[in-house]
Structures are given as structure tokens and as C-alpha cells.
Amino acid sequence: MAEDFDVRLAEKNYVPDPSYQQNSWLGDYQKAYAEFQKDPDAFWDRIAKELHWFRPYSRVKEWNYPYAKWFLDGKTNITYNCLDRHVINSRRNKVALIWRGEDDCERIYTYRQLFREVMRVANGLKKLGVTKGDRVCIYMPMVPEQIISMLACARIGAVHSVVFGGFGAAALNSRIAGAAAKVVITADVTFRRGKSIPLKHIIEEAIINAPSVEHVVVLRREQTQPVEIHKEMEIDFYDMIKDVKAECEPEVMDAEDPLFILYTSGSTGAPKGIVHTCGGYMVGTYYTAKNVFDIKENDVYWCTADPGWITGHSYVVYGPLSLGATIVLTESTPDFPDPGVYWRMVEEFGVTILYTAPTAIRMFMKLGEEWPGKYNLSTLRILGSVGEPLNPEAFEWYYRVIGKSKCPILDTWWQTETGMHMITTMLGEPMYPGFAGKGIPGVVADVVDKDGKSVPPGTGGFLAIREPWPSMLRTVYNDDERYRKYWNTIPGCYAVGDLAVKNKAGYIMVLGRSDDLIVVAGHNIGTAEVESALVSHKAVAEAAVIGKPDDVKGNIIKAFVILRVGHTPSDKLKNELLYHVRITLGPIAMPSEIDFVATLPKTRSGKIMRRVLKAKEMGMDPGDVSTLDE
């Protein structure tokens, strides 16, 4: 497989303009990597010193396999680096955030304005009794208040747990209860494709079995018919900050204090609350925003991810703001009111760096070149991709149609757990379509066998990381056992859970997950979660779920369902099951196909063999089925 792509490289289509590297923050990749290898701690120390610390750290790292501490004894606050620093210095009136709503309404915040709003919300949360270490759940649409709420939590040392607005009540409940959140911040509605979709009733249902919740803060957006606020527990977002001061000193945080929890699907059972800390995460996201994206003073940087995912945490909010960048945020869907909205925004705002997902790129490919063709995209200088493999066809289209064959493409591989970019092709390095690239300076990435030994180019293996890095997860909230598993599965390595292959140049192509996670349109969905949602319906006896390749979304969810006695297959029942998953887990976890079956392939110990189902579905050889119970 790797050979095929070496042939493509021989065409020399993707050797970038050397000026990109010459003018970049990082400069020569090889040189930077060598500097890291020579002395990893000195490398990270040099970067961390570019940020503000209330008290300098005494040591860069302490590594007691599998536990790492970074920037020991250092005191800081990430919001000081994202806000105060810029306001004190020359970026006071620089635009920090441009927000565009669906109906073309706009809100713009300078760094000073954003700073004031963050401090007001921070004071509002304090008024509700939130203090350092308390967990706050943020379940909001993509509006400025979503980002402001995150920063406000960080300001006072509260640990935010942002839940993507597309999750349903049960998924939200398990995340609120899991983190024992004291306060939930939400909105009445989200706007999508011209319609307003109510959110508040989902929260009301989600907090029924979540006794930790003391207050629900509601951002009311519907002007004509404002939702009612239940006085005992709920408070209007702007009422909360009506009489508060716009001054709030940053809480002094230890580098190893938790900054946030972010839930990600696990391959078995409940979602995992990934814990990131103040110091290491700050350094990792700052370093990569600066050196991978090469964000400069005049850039207009747009990452299309929802801040509810890690991509939004690291590359909408913390990374770019710590650099003092101008960021773009929109609630618009890419094809409403027409498939030109994104490109219109690139033209109007003069976007220079665009970071999006392969699933969106493939959707744009289908919609046709005439849409981007209508707009002037000449401001773009760098294009990024994240969330799933960027297949060569999508790479070529992105490069040619959007980047006009001049913009380097950064296919960035990383995870909720890694906090920051880990593998990509740094600016100026040759690009091999289909291959994300190599470990960035600071990261030792490899493709290995089950014993942790490197496998040769062209041979598939497990993607693994060999050394700790500052923004690595520190634990899984309330489940450290699951944390240790990341480092115990492959000797000496952090086991990523992806399959990969290298080419002769050492570039890594990610092939997909090695476990029971399905990456659907760039979002991780655990088969176990969807199966248990299906089984919670009264008509379902058993369910198995697989990912089926799809040329736009990467994968779609296909479910196989055994009905209970007394229920018969019908289209009506199919729709009912889909609806059931939709309200339980949310639209993102909804299967695209459901088959009613009489049996499911199982091992003798009773485990469903999803790979057998998948092979059958795709007309492939199921491989070793010796454990299959006939």
C-alpha cells in the first residue's frame, strides 16, 4: 500500500514552496527535531518560557511510568496567557473573536472586550458558589458565550466539562453525573438550517438523576417567546452577570491542577473523562498553534470545529488565543442557506488559515467546484485537516480547489487524550497524500507490533507514542485503571488505538481504529454506547453495531438487531428505534442502517464478533473464526 503513494510522490506534485518553511516560526523541521532529541527537557523549557508563569517551575518533567508531571511547582493561569497578556501589551484592541450566526448576524470581540466578558462571567459563577476545583458542565451551541464560559471557568480554577450540543439526554446525564458537575451552563435553543432546536428540555431531563447540580445557567436567545426560567434552580445567563464587576483576578493554578475534563467514547462501557492539566496543556497547545499552524500577528484563523470537541478546546480556544490570534467562530452549517457559506466567510473575513475535517471536504467535493469558485479565496495560506484519515482524493481536491495548488496541507493526527497535534507534515516538508506525516518536534511516534517493536515500512501495525509529552492526559476521571491501560497495552508505549503503516520516508498513514470505536464524520462513537441505547428499547433483545465505510462520512453506523418475542420487523419499528437512539444519545450516534436478524455471530464466551459482521457486510473474508460459536 505504501508503495502506491511513493509513486504519487515521484510526480512531485506536492513539494511545497520553500518560503513557507523559511518564513515559519519553526524553521527547518529536521533541525527542530534534532534539537528536541538532543535534550527533550531543554526543548520544552525553551517553549514554556515564552508563556507567563506567576511562579517559575522548578523542573520540566518527572516521569514515573506511566505517570508524568510537567512544569513542577510552576504556577500559572491559562487565561492570563490567553487574555491579560494581550490586553496589557499591544493587542488590546485587536480582534480576538469574529462570530457569525446563521442569519448573517455578527458579533465581534476585541481582546479587551473578551477579557471583560470572561471576568464578568467568572464573577457570576463565583456568585453561584463555584470555586476552584468544582466541575462546571457547558452544554451550548457555537456562540461566543460558549467560549467565554470555558475561559471563565479556567479563570477561577473551576474544571469545565464541555459536552457537544448534539448529544442527547442520556449521554448528557452520564457526563454530568460522571463529573459530579455543580453548575450546568446551557442555552434555550440552537439554530440549525433556519430552525431553532430546543436544548433546555434536554438539560431538564439530563439533570433528573444528577444530584450534584445546584444551578442551571440558561442563555436565552429566543427573543419572541423567551423560555421560562424556573427560579429555584435556574438563572438567566445575563441576569447572572448583571451587577458584577468586570475585574476578576486569575486564580493561581498549579501546573498540575486539572484544567478540564472532556468525555470521549470508550470502546467498552461508559465514556471516559479525559483529564487535562493547566500547565502542560497550555504549553502543548500554544506550541502547536504557533509552530504547526504558524499563526502570525495578521492571520485570520478559522477552525470549524465545535468547541465541544477537543479540536475546539485546543484549536478554537486555548492554542490560538494564547498566541493572540484573531479567531472565527460560526454557528452555520456548511451547506445552509447554500453550499457557499464557508467560502463566502473566507472571502469576507479574509481567512488565512483554515482547519476543517475530511468529512466536510468530501461533502464539498460532492457539492461541486462551482461553490468555492464563486469566491475569492486568495487570502488562504495554510489548510488543515483533522479527525479521520484525509484520503488522497480529498487531499488533492482540497489542495487544488481550495488551496489553488499553493497552500500546504496539514493533515494533523491527534486525539482527545493527546491534547495537542502529534503527527503531521510540518510546513515546507514534502507532502504525501494519504499520509499524515511524522511526529512533530517533541513527539516520538512510531508504528509497532504488539511487543512495541518498530515494524518496517509497508507493514501495518499499531500506532504508538514512545515518550511522554506536556499535554498528555493525566488520568481518566475517577477511573485511573483505564488510564493505565493506555500505557500497559504495548510495552513501553502509549497505545493510541489506531492502526497505521509507514512509507519509506517514515511518514505515517493512519488506517483506522483497532478497537470498537467508530469514527463517524470525525466523531468517535463507541459501539457499546449505541448497542446499549438500542437494547434499552422494549422491542430489542440484542444489538450489535459496526462501522461501514462511507465516502463522505468516513464511516456510517450500521446496527444488527434481534427483536424480543412478540415484536415483528417493520419500517415503523425501524424508525422508532432510530428515534430512540436519537433522543437517548443524540443525532450524531444515530445508525444509518438497521437490519433485523435472528442471530448474531458470537464467541463461545458470548462476546459479539463485530468483525465477522463487518466482513460479511463488506463481502470480505472474516479471517480467523476459530472462536466463533456455531
Interface contacts to ligand WTA, rule CB under 6 A:
264, 309-311, 386-389, 411-416, 436, 496-498, 510, 513, 519, 524
Residue 576, number of CB atoms within 10 A of its CB: 13
CA 564 to chain centre: 38
Q: Which is nearer to ligand WTA, 288 or 412 (CB)?
A: 412
Instruction: Compare residues 20 and 462 and give the one whose CB is closer to ligand WTA.
Output: 462
Q: In the complex with ligand WTA, which residue's Cβ is closer, 339 or 419?
A: 419
Minimum distance from residue 73 beta carbon to ligand WTA (Å): 30
Closest distance of CB 505 from ligand WTA, Å: 17
Q: Which is nearer to ligand WTA, 126 or 614 (CB)?
A: 614
The residue among 146 and 514 lying less far from ligand WTA, judged by its C-beta, is 514
Nearest distance from residue 93's CB to ligand WTA, in Å?
33
What SS3 state is found at 86? helix
The upper half-sphere exposure of residue 351, i.e. CA atoms within 13 Å in the direction of its Cβ, equals 29
Distance (Å, rounded) from C-alpha 41 to C-alpha 60? 6
Query: What is the grid cell recorded at 613?
Result: 459482521
Are 534 and 581 contacting, i.e. CB atoms less than 8 angstroms apart? Answer: yes
CB contact at 8 A, 163 and 263: yes
Residue 411 or 467 with smaller CB distance to ligand WTA: 411
Least distance in angstroms from the C-beta of 417 to ligand WTA: 7
**Closest to 425 measured CA to CA, from 356, 486, 505:** 505
Q: Which is nearer to ligand WTA, 258 or 389 (CB)?
A: 389
Contact 442, 40 (CB under 8 A): yes
CB of 424 to ligand WTA, least distance (A): 8
Q: Letter for the amino acid at 51? A: L
Residue 568: left if φ>0, alpha if ψ -120 to 50, beta else—which one?
beta
Closest approach of ligand WTA to the CB of residue 418, in Å: 8
Residue number with CB closer to ligand WTA (77 or 311): 311
- For residue 503, what is its C-alpha cell? 512509507
**Pair 365, 394: CB distance under 8 Å:** yes
Answer yes or no: are the C-beta atoms of 431 and 441 closer than 8 Å: no
Nearer to ligand WTA by Cβ, of 157 and 419: the residue is 419
Rounded-to-10 torsion of CA 440, 441, 447, 453? -170
Amino acid letter, 404: K
Q: How far is the CB of 352 from ligand WTA (least distance, A)?
A: 21
- Joined together, the cell numbers standing for residue 23 give 518564513
CB of 569 to ligand WTA, least distance (A): 33
DSSP 4-29: HHHHHHHTTTT---HHHHHTSSS--H
Min dist CB 355 to ligand WTA, Å, is: 11
